[in-house]
Structure 1
Amino acid sequence: MKNKDDISAGNESPSVTTGTANTISSGKAVKAAKPVPSGVLFPENDPIFQHTVYIRSRYGETDKMGYLYHARFIDYFDVARTEMIRLGEFNYKKLEDSGIIMPVLDVQVRYFEPVTYDEEIRILVHVYEWPQTRLHTHYKVTGSGGSLKAYGKVSLCFVNEHTRKPVRAPKPLLDAMRRHVQN
């Protein structure tokens, strides 16, 4: 079942639909994903946490070929991660209000097939380990027919905004994640 939550602000944000991965069912046949060497962007163990976000690409995000501009995938990863964090009644604003920021340390994207204008894509964001001083998020992007569009990984660090030193993941964020896992 899809849960439509449009987080757009005018035309500045993509239209987004969110839902947990175990509640999403398209009923359509899914093409087999192209093989990727194990451990490249996804660990071999099962994720401890996952969330699905649906986004429709917009005209201004495409290039002359009619394809979604490659850097937009990173923006979409940010949308998926933000929605994932928001699940347990926690969000980036609360994090920043507590004096913690999350700079990006590393971004990896592996592209398989282009996303075209007005195409709805599914972004499945996985977390494979409980965050300590870093949060590692892994992404699988598929098209409406299930075709594999991209894999991604983003690593962020929890940092004290005043000292600029790494800190442990805040307890309210971990508690929010645990609540989601238990549901």
Structure 2
Amino acid sequence: MFVHEHNTRIRYAETDQMGYVYYGNYAAFYEIGRTEMLRHTGITYKELEEMGVMLPVMELYSRYIKPATYDTLITIRTTIREKPGIRIKFEYEIFDEAGALLNTGNTQLVFVDRKKNKPCKPPQIFMDKMNPYFST
């Protein structure tokens, strides 16, 4: 299992008229979590794309527990529980500064060969980065 945390502050533009984070912005927070988690492994989305692999989102689920508000420092905890294959599932928990759980969610992405536009196995370099976190 691989777990990574990243902090970001809620910007005014991410809130709605009620002063709460607009619900659609949680998908963007999930993307921040995924991107920073991958960067932490030593490989980036950009590098995967340069290798000819895309990672489109197939599924997205989000559960809103408590609203986040402007200028709150949130923690995005991103978890991969299962060793990636053709698909990779990310789970998210978003907490406020006091540690209160605000949101949970998950996304499932698929590795796609850019030239063939077909699902493919992850690049070996990516798997080499992931293998230490999963028992074989």
What is the TM-score when the length of structure 2 is the normalising length? 0.94
Distance in 1 of aligned mates of 2:3 and 2:60:
19
Q: Give the deviation of 1:178 after TM superposition.
A: 3.5
| Number of aligned residue pairs | 134
Distance in 2 of aligned mates of 1:178 and 1:67:
39
In the alignment, which of 47, 66, 69 is matched to residue 22 of structure 2? Answer: 69
Q: For CA contacts below 8 A with separation 6 or more, give which structure has more relative contact order.
A: 2
Q: Give the deviation of 1:89 after TM superposition.
A: 1.5
The secondary structure found in structure 2 opposite 1:87 is helix
Runs of 4+ aligned structure 1 residues displaced above 3 Å come to none
Q: Give the deviation of 1:167 after TM superposition.
A: 0.2
Distance in 1 of aligned mates of 2:122 and 2:51:
12
Distance in 2 of aligned mates of 1:127 and 1:102:
15
Q: 1:123 is matched by which residue type in structure 2? A: I
In the alignment, which of 30, 43, 50 is matched to residue 90 of structure 1? Answer: 43
Higher helix share: 2
Superposition map of 1:1-183 within 5 A: 48-178=1-131, 181=133
Residue-by-residue CA offset, 1:95-149 (whole Å, 9 max, x unaligned): 0111110110000000000000000111110001111001100001111111110
Superposition RMSD in Å = 1.2
Q: 1:58 is matched by which residue type in structure 2? A: R
What is the TM-score when the length of structure 1 is the normalising length? 0.71
Identity across aligned pairs (percent)?
A: 35
Gaps of 5+ in 1: 1-47
Tell me, yes or no, if the aligned pair for 1:85 and 1:173 is still in contact at 8 Å: no
Q: Give the deviation of 1:177 after TM superposition.
A: 2.5
